[in-house]
Amino acid sequence: MLATGAITLGVVVALYSVRHNRAPAVAPSSTASHALAPDFTLPQPDGESLHLSAYRGKVVLLDFWATWCYPCREEIPHLVDLQQKYGDRGLQVLGISMDDSPDPVGPFYQQFHMNYPVVMGTAKTGESYGGILGLPITFLIGRDGRIYAKHIGATNASVFEKEIKDLLQAP
Amino acid sequence: MIQVGSHVLFAQAHIPGSEYIGPASSDAGVQRLRNRVESLPRTKFILLYCGCCPWGHCPNVKPADDALHAMGFTNVKVLYISDNFGTNWVDKGYPVAKGE
């Protein structure tokens, strides 16, 4: 009876783990339903422009965030780690700050040791991505410039990592 | 009705008739809120909302609510948005306005 209970508990735990840790499947080989990520040219806090199209050929993790967003502050260190780990293999993390002003972004960038470019977002940018009406919202963009995943709210880093690895392996 | 979160989010979508004041998580935002309501009767019904992120993590609504109560306002309500404005308002098909 004890063994039966242990087996049952093990099955329940396994099912729970599978259900809650399964990352959304990214299918780089299937492009029909994956829209091209809207291109943008936006200013970095120092004023220099950044073009999304310059990163075609890389896997891009595009993160909409703000300095005052607590879930973003929890997520960003993990994005820093992912950039560090996969940057040499073709990953580029890009941050789009939805702060009203670039003033707080520079100090935040230093405080959080951010190692990827950050630009200042606009309402137009948000609308082009379907409406950024909450933070953080993160997109995974393949080497072909198409969107393969969208995450609303803070996301477990392991989910991002699996998707990144899948996309990096895609042709 | 006052939105106390992000202007970039407000410009994309907000509740029709609401005003944007600024993130109440900042001192400047709270001061703009105080300035806006200073001349209002303290019994005026004021509705605050944000919707930047999940309710338990919102840095804006509590400072705004606290500021108004400290000023003596007695009829302040905060709109409960559990996840974010997009999920809990726009996606539900509720009325939305865009722009400034």
* Catalytic entry in A66, A69, A105, A167: A69
Measured between beta carbons, which residues in chain B are less than 8 angstroms from residue A69? 52-53, 57, 59
Statement: residue A4 has pLDDT above 90: no
Is A72 an active-site residue?
Answer: yes
Mean pLDDT of the A46-50 span: 93
pLDDT category at A19 given cuts 50, 70, 90 is: very low
pLDDT digits (tens, 9 = 90+) for B56-85: 999 999 999 999 999 999 999 999 999 999
Statement: residue A11 has pLDDT above 50: no
Measured between beta carbons, which residues in chain A are less than 8 angstroms from residue B23? 68, 100
Averaged confidence pLDDT in chain B = 95
pLDDT category at A22 given cuts 50, 70, 90 is: very low
Q: Exposed, middle or buried, A93 (CB in 10 Å: 0-12/13-18/19+)? A: buried
Asked if A73 contacts A113 with a C-beta cutoff of 8 angstroms, the reply is: no
Question: Residues of chain B with pLDDT > 90: what percent?
Answer: 94
Q: Tell me, yes or no, if B87 comes closer than 8 A to chain A by beta carbon.
A: yes
CB contact under 8 A, B8 and A71: no
Q: What is the CATH number of domain A2-169?
A: 3.40.30.10
pLDDT digits (tens, 9 = 90+) for A135-169: 999 999 999 999 999 999 999 999 999 999 999 99
- Of the candidates B18, B68, B12, B70, the residue with the CA atom closest to the CA atom of residue B44: B68
Domain assignments of chain A as residue spans, ordered by start: 2-169
For B8, which residue in chain A has the nearest alpha carbon? A123
ipTM score? 0.87
Would you state the pLDDT for residue B100? 77
- Comparing CB atoms, the residue among B9, B26, B54 nearest residue A153 is B54
Q: How far is A8 from chain B (nearest CA, A)?
A: 35
Mean pLDDT of the B2-12 span: 94
What does pTM read for this prediction?
0.84
**Long-range contacts of the stretch A72-78 (C-beta < 8 A, 24+):** A72/A135, A72/A136, A72/A154, A72/B53, A73/A112, A74/A154, A75/A136, A75/A154, A75/A155, A75/A157, A76/A112, A76/A114, A77/A112, A78/A157, A78/A160
CB contact under 8 A, A132 and B12: yes
Would you state the pLDDT for residue A3? 46
Statement: residue A24 has pLDDT above 70: no
CB contact under 8 A, B23 and A71: no
Question: Residues of chain A with pLDDT > 90: what percent?
Answer: 77
pLDDT category at A18 given cuts 50, 70, 90 is: very low
For the ranges A24-33, A104-113, B75-84, the lowest mean pLDDT is seen at A24-33
Would you state the pLDDT for residue A170? 86
- Was domain B2-90 assigned CATH 3.10.20.310? no
Measured between beta carbons, which residues in chain A are less than 8 angstroms from residue B59? 68-70
Statement: residue A12 has pLDDT above 50: no
Helix (H, G, I), strand (E, B) or coil at A114: coil
Tokens of A156: 């477990």
- Comparing CB atoms, the residue among A72, A99, A134 nearest residue B84 is A134
Q: Tell me, yes or no, if B85 comes closer than 8 A to chain A by beta carbon.
A: yes
CB contact under 8 A, A134 and B60: no
Would you state the pLDDT for residue A116? 98
Would you state the pLDDT for residue A26? 55
pLDDT category at B87 given cuts 50, 70, 90 is: very high
